[in-house]
Amino acid sequence: MALTGRTALLAALGALVTGLLLPSWAGIGAVTGAVLLGVLVDLVLAAPVRSLRITRGGDTTVRLGEPATVELTVTNPAGRPLRARIRDAWAPSAWRPGTELAASRHTLRVPGHERRRVTTVLTPTRRGDHHAHKVTVRSLGPLGLAGRQGSHLVPWTVRALPPFTSRKHLPSRLARLRELDGRTSVLTRGQGTEFDSLREYLPGDDVRSIDWRASARRNTVAIRTWRPERDRHILIVLDTGRTSAGRVGDAPRLDASLDAALLLTALATKAGDRVDLLAHDLRKRVSVAGRSPNEILPAFTSAMAVMEPALYETDMRSLVATALKMAPHRSLIVLLTGLDAAPAEDGLLPLLPLLTKRHEVVLASVADPRLDELAAGRGTVEAVYGAAAAEQTRADRRLTADRLTRAGVTVLDAPPTSVAPALADTYLALKAAGRL
């Protein structure tokens, strides 16, 4: 069979080497000798790997589920051209399943004394910091039969922020806030209201809102109107203990609590209120306080990105003490925790008077919609036992919620997709009622 192209050239070179230069190889054959010669040529002519200079640039933060781009700049200081295959290694959680092989491999050619860039696209599947591992470079020779390989440590970190999926509810809540805050004033004065304006009395208005002094100076009866007070303090407390680690659907309860906290923060900031954040289990994990309105949401999302639930019971006494230190004056304290009977009754309920004596307290819990499905089960013995257990759990949660309500706490118990808008609605209701 005739040989063509590169194979024919290698065969001719092999014949020359084996027949003239290396007689002892004569039994190996022309093709084998040619391959060995090609390997030797590639090893000699391949650009060195250790002298390469590799730097990174690109995104340092990204929302969970969205792509992030990280650039690798490869500088070839040698005179020989670099023909390279590059593997940019990251932790498995930095890639969407099934995409790592294609996204982390690059083919690159860099002439001598020049530089080129390649882009790695990451799609993190978990919150937190994702760190780059080694960059492995395989430098091939001109024939592509052999080369050199080495690794460079080029550090880089991409922080995956909470996805904030509840932001789709923000426009409708902001519209209600605008209606509440100025466009529609209230006639009833409350603890969380301030004087807005005077207007003429209309039939049906509350006579207690009549301003008699202003009416004496004009020919009509004047009514005082009020609006929700601005610059109120809100402390969001995240319980990162054992109950927050329970999975509801595909994610832990903590993730739904983070989403609800972000929506409330965005809404309250637009309302002109001050928002602080506390995450606590056995001890204080995160505290973000005193940020300007433009800094609050970025600071909260960055702090929440690295939060992980702890697998032990929350020290409620320490949590309440820390919350009172961060809220020395009247505030709205939003506690995102569980409604499990034992932790609430043994840990939280005895301490509630310390909070409700001075502050408005809202407790928001993430309910498991699977309980409703199990409670409706019938037809088999297993389904009936499952329904009984689910109904008992729901009854315990309702009993705990009732006890908290009697202690002066506003209680929310909603599934993961509803807890964020429900908490925002509760905040607006407190504003409208003058309780904030």
Give the model's confidence band at 116: pLDDT under 50 very low, under 70 low, under 90 confident, else very high: very high
Sign of CA dihedral 407, 410, 414, 417: negative
C-alpha 331, offset from chain centre = 27
Please measure the distance between the N-terminal and C-terminal CA atoms of the chain and give it in whole angstroms. 91
Continuous H helices in 170-248: 170-178, 212-216
pLDDT in tens, 289-301: 999 999 999 999 9
Q: How many CB atoms lie within 10 A of CB 57?
A: 13
pLDDT value of position 204: 66
Question: What is the Cα–Cα distance from 427 to 414, expressed in whole angstroms?
Answer: 15
361 and 408 Cβ atoms separated by less than 8 Å: yes
Q: Are strands 61-63 and 68-76 parallel, antiparallel or unpaired?
A: unpaired
The least confident of 207-211, 238-242, 268-272, 348-352 is: 207-211
In eight-state DSSP terms, residue 47 is: P
Backbone region of residue 29 per phi and psi (left: phi > 0; alpha: psi in -120 to 50; beta: other values)? left
Q: Between these two residues, 222 and 256, which has the higher pLDDT value? A: 256
Beta strands per DSSP E along 25-168? 53-58, 61-63, 68-76, 82-90, 105-110, 114-122, 128-140, 147-153, 157-161
Non-local CB neighbours of 107 within 8 Å, separated by 6+ positions: 84, 85, 86
Cα separations in angstroms, 342 against 245, 338, 393, 399: 16, 10, 12, 12
Average pLDDT, the chain: 85
Residue 363 has phi, psi (to 5 degrees) of: -115, 125
Q: Are 392 and 400 in contact (CB under 8 A)?
A: no
Give 21's contacts (C-beta < 8 A, 6+ positions apart).
none
For residues 113 and 76, the answer to whether their CB atoms sit within 8 Å is: yes
Q: Write the pLDDT tens digit of every residue in 146-167.
A: 778 899 999 999 999 999 999 9
Question: Tens digit of pLDDT for each residue in 33-49?
Answer: 677 776 776 677 778 89
Q: What H or E segment, with its residue span, contains residue 43?
A: helix 30-45
Alpha-carbon distance 69 to 71, whole Å? 7
**CB-CB contact of 227 with 184 (8 Å):** no
pLDDT in tens, 306-357: 999 998 899 999 999 999 999 999 999 999 999 888 888 888 999 999 999 9
Predicted structure pTM score: 0.79
Q: Are 73 and 55 in contact (CB under 8 A)?
A: yes
- Residues 91/104, Cβ–Cβ less than 8 Å: no
